[in-house]
Amino acid sequence: MSLKEGARLKPGTRWSELLAWYRRNPRQNLPWRKRKSPYRTLVSELMLQQTQVEQVIPYYHRFLKRFPTLEALARAPLSEVLDLWAGLGYYSRARNLHACARQVMARHGGALPEAPKELLRLPGIGRYTAGAIGSIAFSKPVPLVDGNVTRVLCRVFGIREDPRGPAVAKRLWSVAAGLVPKRNPGDFNQALMDLGALVCAPKSPQCGRCPLRSDCLAYRKGWQEAIPPPKKAIPRKKIRYVCGILTKNGSVLVARRPFTGLLGGLWEFPGGEEFPELSKTESLRRLLKEKLGLEAEPRKMTCRLKQLLTHRELQIAGFACAWSGRLKPRWYDEIRWVKKTGLPRVGLTAGMRRLAAVMAGRGPDS
């Protein structure tokens, strides 16, 4: 079956089997599928971008408890949204979600638009998210193509070219548009995504469980492991980061990063990237002077750990510091003294959350 032929296919017996498989699989119990609404679909889809389902679920529950409606989210300050998002990563999603809510309130009377073209004009909503909201929340027969759907379609139709290339990506969207049915389009799109996540995995796919295996060209040819071709690994840039643990009356100092830039709006123990010409302790003295106006003396390294970002590896060293002077947040947006027991409720970056766990005696991965 060629890619060109695939673009003309309509769901038939095999695709009905896919829907039957989908309705039996355990992901039906996911919270955003139990209670559907355009707003809940928007929140879940942005959280699920590049993030595992298991990690998203507790954040989704907390987020909906605090912001049960789009209006509640729009009214909240960005700082509160970021604090609640802390630890989930890819923080531009939180900023986009907040901006989207405000724009919907201002321009659409508080209701997400149904038309994909209107959805695409909103912050944080690209073609995939517009397809998800359109098909799942509004039952529009519009396609969506994510990494899981790409893998399923490439294997079923035997597409051996790199799907990240613009020409192949364009054709995959055309194939997906030809497949999505007018009836239950949301279920169909979610079935394709679930099939890729649960069965048609990148490595060791469980072809014996797949409802599409009899039509899958990769299965018949034995090409499963070669399709799609693997990404070229991009080496992470290593960044050496030092931070100071400053205490006063049983509390520790945390500082909010500026709202723009890497990890914008999140909290950290004050510090920054090491200066290449200076040692760790010398770098920290200089950073605390420049960012907080303090005279500080790093005394003991309390922790060393790594935080992996998409294209960066932060190597973080935390130092207990003696300090003097008046705090002047020259670079930070805000500073706050927090009891150590209260640190889990602060929107710290992932690396700083692990450092705080070490301070509390729970270990870096607790």
Catalytic residues: 45
**Distance separating alpha carbons of residues 142 and 139, to the nearest angstrom:** 8
**Distance separating alpha carbons of residues 339 and 28, to the nearest angstrom:** 41
Contact 217, 156 (CB under 8 A): yes
**Distance separating alpha carbons of residues 82 and 90, to the nearest angstrom:** 11
Q: Which residues pair with 45 in a beta bridge?
A: none
Residue for token pair 């209701």: 111
Strand residue runs (E) in the chain: 237-245, 247-248, 251-256, 267-268, 271-273, 295-308, 312-324, 334-339
**Distance separating alpha carbons of residues 87 and 353, to the nearest angstrom:** 8
**Distance separating alpha carbons of residues 196 and 183, to the nearest angstrom:** 21
* Distinct helix (H) and strand (E) counts, the chain: 16, 8
**Distance separating alpha carbons of residues 202 and 313, to the nearest angstrom:** 24
Residues whose CB is less than 8 angstroms from the CB of residue 102 and which lie 6 or more positions away in sequence, other chains included: 74
**Distance separating alpha carbons of residues 49 and 334, to the nearest angstrom:** 29
**Distance separating alpha carbons of residues 83 and 86, to the nearest angstrom:** 5
49: tokens are 């971008």
**Distance separating alpha carbons of residues 36 and 324, to the nearest angstrom:** 54
**Distance separating alpha carbons of residues 157 and 3, to the nearest angstrom:** 6
Contact 112, 70 (CB under 8 A): yes
